[in-house]
Amino acid sequence: MSNIETVTPQVALPQREPFRINWIRLAPLLYTIGLFVIWEIGVRISGLPHTILPTPSRIFEAIVQYWSPIWKNSLQTLYTTVLGFIIAVVAGLGIGLFIGWSKTIYAGLYPIMIGFNAIPKVALVPILVIWFGIGTVPAVLTAFLISFFPIVVNVATGLATIEPETEDVLRALGAKKLDIMLKVGIPRSMPYFFGSLKVAITLAFVGSVVSETVASNNGLGNMMASAQSNFNVPLVFAGLLMLAVEGIAMYALMAWLEKRMTGWAHRSTMSN
């Protein structure tokens, strides 16, 4: 996880010395290349057959060879993931605000949420298939179910941890619960919310791919499952690589969004 974080685009990095190579910015790229080189050499020296562990060059070959299905299935997976994720954001924000609203609701719903979160979501896929048939719908729903929990917890935590003094100052002015939520609770929980999006998008990929693997004729999960049954191991790895690329891209997007929307949270903690 931690080396993915360094891939985050550094939008506004001042370039004071244009003639010096910025090794920190280059590091993610260099390390990635290094990983592939070691992999390539390791496989070649050990002589593992590509049905066990293909070399990166063999995987890139597979990507070129099967580009059309890979592209189509990548888009499908991205689509189900993002759709499930968006539903999770909307529902997570809503439920998070609802739970954080009052101590009673928080106390009553929290254990239920924990219990629900403890269920492995892959176990729900068969039920979703019974309800909605195989294909896009269960994939979207699995992505949603697996990714909305961190959003709920973070939003609710942001609301539940309002400083009592701030609340007192506002209540002494005649503020209603709704005022306090709108003026303090919601803005205050935004850093928690945007922070949780990075976790949620990663989980959403897990959900959609799991569901596609067992219950779909589309998507990278399904493509990898059928490639595996044909012993087309390079194609399986090509699918993994595409997933990694999509995952990094979406994670970077969320990290960027977080920085854009809640810059004050980073700067204010830095100054304290």
Partner 1 sequence: MALVTIDNVDMRYGGPTGTLAVSGLNLRIERGEFVAVVGPSGCGKSTLMKLTTGLHIPQAGTVIVADQEVTKPVSIVGMAFQNPTMLPWRTTLENILLPLEIVERHRHRLRAHKAEYVAKAEALLETVGLKGFGDKFPWQLSGGMQQRANLCRALIHEPELLMLDEPFGALDAFTREELWCVIRDLHASQDVTIVLVTHDLRESVFLADKVVVMSARPGRVISEHMVPFERPRQLEILYEPAFNDMVQRLHGEIATARAAA
Q: Does residue 161 bind partner 1 (CB under 8 A)?
A: no
Closest to 95 (Cα-Cα) out of 35, 153, 147, 171: 153
Structure tokens at 105: 């609701």
188 close to 167: Cβ distance less than 8 angstroms: no
Q: Does residue 260 bind partner 1 (CB under 8 A)?
A: no
* CA distances from residue 70 to 82, 99, 214, 237 in whole angstroms, order as listed: 18, 41, 18, 11
Measure the CA–CA gap between 89 and 93, rounded to whole angstroms.
6
For partner 1, which stretch binds (CB under 8 A), given 32-40, 100-108, 192-200, 257-265?
257-265
Q: How far is the CB of 195 from partner 1 (least distance, A)?
A: 15
Binding residue (CB under 8 A) for partner 1 from 179, 228, 248, 253: 179
For partner 1, which stretch binds (CB under 8 A), given 89-97, 151-159, 169-177, 236-244?
169-177
Question: Which residues lie below 8 Å from residue 209, measured CB to CB, with a gap of 6+?
Answer: 77, 219, 220, 221, 243
Q: Does residue 267 bind partner 1 (CB under 8 A)?
A: yes
User: x/- contact string, 184-203, with partner 1 (CB under 8 A)?
Assistant: x--xx-x-------------
* Positions that interact with partner 1 (CB under 8 A): 163, 165-166, 168-175, 179, 183-184, 187-188, 190, 262, 264-265, 267-268, 271-272
